[in-house]
Amino acid sequence: EVQLVESGGGLVKPGGSLRLSCAASGFTFSSYSMNWVRQAPGKGLEWVSSISSSSSYIYYADSVKGRFTISRDNAKNSLYLQMNSLRAEDTAVYYCAREVGSGGTGGFDYWGQGTLVTVSS
């Protein structure tokens, strides 16, 4: 069974940092591109970042570029999101999601349960 389990969320002050993790199981993690998607309270979905299977290709939303860093450790079946210089507008539930199909043609077929990040003083 495919499982994605996020952790690392919590309350952080503006300007602070947080590192999210996503533990993957039930599939060959190293064969898939992975993504982070967030959802602010009561709002829609926002794609945050993508990393290819071998970390060769990395992309970010403009809203987080220069502040967030996506990475992965295929030996540990884990995905990460290092979030620096956090702002109130980064407050959201953060989901990791598996991308299926070449070039994302299959969409995001498995999602974690999400981890809440709250940026507030």
Partner 1 sequence: DIQLTQSPSFLSASVGDRVTITCRASQGISSYLAWYQQKPGKAPKLLIYAASTLQSGVPSRFSGSGSGTEFTLTISSLQPEDFATYYCQQLNSYPFTFGPGTKVDIK
Q: Is 116 in the site for partner 1 (CB under 8 A)?
A: no
Q: Is 62 in the site for partner 1 (CB under 8 A)?
A: yes
Q: Is 100 in the site for partner 1 (CB under 8 A)?
A: yes
| Least spacing, CB of residue 38 vs partner 1, in Å | 11
Q: Is 5 in the site for partner 1 (CB under 8 A)?
A: no
* Beta carbon nearer to partner 1, 29 or 50: 50
Scan for tokens 């709002």, then name that residue: 43
Q: Which of 49, 65, 66 is nearest to 57 (CA)?
A: 49
Q: Is 27 in the site for partner 1 (CB under 8 A)?
A: no
Among 108, 115, 117, 119, binds partner 1 (CB under 8 A): 108
Please spell the DSSP secondary structure of 8-35, one letter per residue. --EEE-TT--EEEEEEEESS-GGGS-EE
Residues that bind partner 1 (CB under 8 A): 35, 37, 44-47, 50, 59-62, 95, 100-101, 103-109, 111-114
